[in-house]
Structure 1
């Protein structure tokens, strides 16, 4: 489907080479100060043609708010936003009328609908994500104003060049292993978008960024592509977000992230590394943190039982190499006749630098939706008169040891 969310709900529209792409957003709180200037920065981080590490397609991606605001404030009614496609070249795809591109969605879309977009990737193109980014920018503004929530994503790896904590858990090297994790959590607490945007790779560490750049340039010069990994951290998230069982917060995040084009893997907190860590080490111990509880470690990634616990939420995301490359590749026509295809369009040698704002935006959509749902539950429950006979055990007020 082309819609996402429950209480804060979006529906995107448009194909890669049509006249325009955009989004309709329902559930935007009324009275939020909002103009195109609030949305444009994230779209500009996502747009093509930013550097020689990205596709040369020259789109400015200027957003226009069509409805849902007046005099710079939201009305609470559906918000519609649109971006014109200005530099599309359908003629670049003529040869692809005959051949399905290897690892692309040409064949599967044709099998599903019986027709397909004859230029670009249609709805499977990353142009579709413009609507997501616009809607996410609106959600981010509310989250920042109302709760001080910060969302920062950055490129953590390109190919085999990766800056995340490495090495399996070994009891005899536990201190060194724990030190790597502690340094990683410290990085996640302080990383900001200014650091991320300080280079074209969008990696906050200059030394690692230089290595990643070299790897991307190699693929570009070989008319090839390369994948990589991204990390996203969400700070200052209130406790209690997420629903039990099927709509756990990490499940909604996974759904959101795996809906982004080119994603192939998602892991929250310790992720797959947690499978090799003993429980007595992996368990996040509680301590008194202001007027709430905190945890001394954060292998859970800020979510326990599918519900936010107040610690930083962080996850890793894997992107595959872009499917469309300039090298000649053996394939067959839609009728099964052998042939060779070399893509002529303009494409990214590595999609990660431009995907940072997409990941941040999808994270914002998930947190916004969960927050609206939780606030509705809390405000509804607040209308029930306080029952002095409610057992203290239900309220967590036994006070043992105090």
Structure 2
């Protein structure tokens, strides 16, 4: 297996849900980039469990930066983030070691690791591991924002309830609003309805899922590459690595399949000040695997939390006999409101990697004296 991802910028994650600690390592960043620890703490807080709509496992998630940062700036070496696990109750899983939990990785993990995996709290398969991703993603996001690149998400849909869409005529204000909301729903009435729905599911020993809409602004046209290194390829790879993500689409996504080409194509028009834009954005700011300068829009489907308290049918892995499974312990009835910062952090890492690749290519062309325009001889 590989716990490392990235091209120029590389992210490594480590740890298990009930081990001593979890964390992440970022390599490839140049020296001299500022790290705002208060901002990092604020991003970690968005992932923390709170209230009745989250698990009652309340981890402090205090981030220790062990290396790669000196006097508030990157030092050009590996940046290591460590987060101690302090609220484990491993005994909650003693009776579940061989009783395969539906919706979890248990069956597949036994086939892959032959029983040597850490089963407590899902081990390395657990959503707990995303805390390190959020810490690393916070630094990536801070760097992007200094370049004018912003990321914001809202809970577009929870079970059968729909939030209002982003108002793209006032997108900066809408992004500010989304980032200020703890629950991440733009319509206050829908937010209250969604929270009641989560509490109702919890009272029945069940769980719910939903869809996040994420928008990225400030990306110049020309980021990415066709085929295997497309923007969609890199971001989808990262997002599908997040536990409970079961769907990723860009722009109108599957909705484009219902349209004629004349409807799906975004008309290209002058944008003023010598720019070129599209009149619509059905393709989500991406064509041919590259950014086209419009806001990048993506949707991420989060399945209902698999740890539910209802009795379920399962099998004992040792005996291969059917059993009735009753999960105990502390679990989220819904994780989408906590997954919002995780999705944004994964996107921030992927985009920074792609931006660094583009920067490197441009700088190489400039330093080798190649003409800025095709067909022109170098000066």
TM-score band, normalised by shorter chain? over 0.9
Paired residues for 1:2-401 under 5 Å: 2-48=3-49, 50-114=50-114, 115-145=116-146, 147-163=147-163, 184-186=167-169, 188=171, 190-199=173-182, 201-289=183-271, 290-334=273-317, 335-386=319-370, 391=375
Distance (Å, rounded) in 2 between the aligned partners of 1:338 and 1:186: 56
* Residues 143 and 149, structure 1, Cα contact 8 Å, conserved in 2: yes
Return the alpha-carbon distance in structure 1 between the equivalents of residues 25 and 220 of structure 2.
27
Question: TM-score scaled by structure 2?
Answer: 0.94
Residue in structure 2 matched with residue 180 of structure 1 by the alignment: none
- Gap runs ≥5 in structure 2: none
| Superposed displacement of residue 29, structure 1 | 2.5
Cα deviation digits, residues 176-217 of structure 1 (max 9, x gap): xxxxxxx75336554225445435x32122122122112211
Deviation at 1:72, TM superposition (A): 1.2
- Report deviation, 1:384: 3.3
Name the CA shift for 1:33/1:124 in 2 (closer, same or farther; >3 Å). same
**What's the CA shift string for 1:141-189, capped at 9, x where partnerless?**
11111x1111001111111112367xxxxxxxxxxxxxxxxx7533655
State the 1:240 CA deviation: 1.1
Specify the SS of the correspondent of 2:18. coil
CA distance in 1, matches of 2:59, 2:372: 62
Contact 1:241 1:307 in 2 (8 A): yes
Q: TM-score, normalised by structure 1?
A: 0.88
Query: Contact 1:36 / 1:63 at 8 angstroms: preserved in 2?
Result: no
Distance 1:255 1:389 in 2: 33
**d(CA) in 2 for partners of 1:28, 1:388:** 27
**How many angstroms apart in 1 are the aligned matches of 2:239 and 2:153?**
12
**Structure-2 separation of matches of 1:130 and 1:342:** 27
For residue 309 of structure 1, report the CA deviation from its aligned partner.
0.9
Structure 1 pair 390–219 and aligned structure 2 pair: CA distance change class (3 A): closer
**Structure 1 residues 243-266: Cα deviation after superposition (integer angstroms, max 9, x where no partner):** 121111011111111111001111
With over 3 angstroms needed to count, the CA separation of the structure-2 counterparts of 1:91 and 1:286, relative to structure 1, is: same
Report Cα offsets for 1:266-312 as digits up to 9, x if no partner.
Answer: 11001111111222222112222223311111111011111011110
Measured in 2, the distance between the counterparts of 1:375 and 1:12 equals 25
- 1:306-350 Cα distance to aligned partner (Å, 9 max, x none): 101111001111111111111111211112122111111211101
Please provide the CA RMSD for this pair: 1.9
Q: How many residues align structurally?
A: 373
Q: Structure 1 pair 332/308, CA: closer, same or farther in 2 (3 Å)?
A: same
The answer to whether the Cα contact below 8 Å between 1:227 and 1:320 also exists between their aligned partners in 2 is yes
> Structure 2 vs 1, CA of residues 388 and 57 (structure 1 numbering), >3 Å: closer, same or farther?
closer
Which is worse superposed, 304-313 or 190-199?
190-199
1:118: how far off? 3.1
Structure 1 stretches of 4+ moved >4 Å: 386-390
Gaps of at least 5 residues in structure 1 are 166-182, 395-402
Aligned 8 A contact 1:231 1:316 in 2: yes
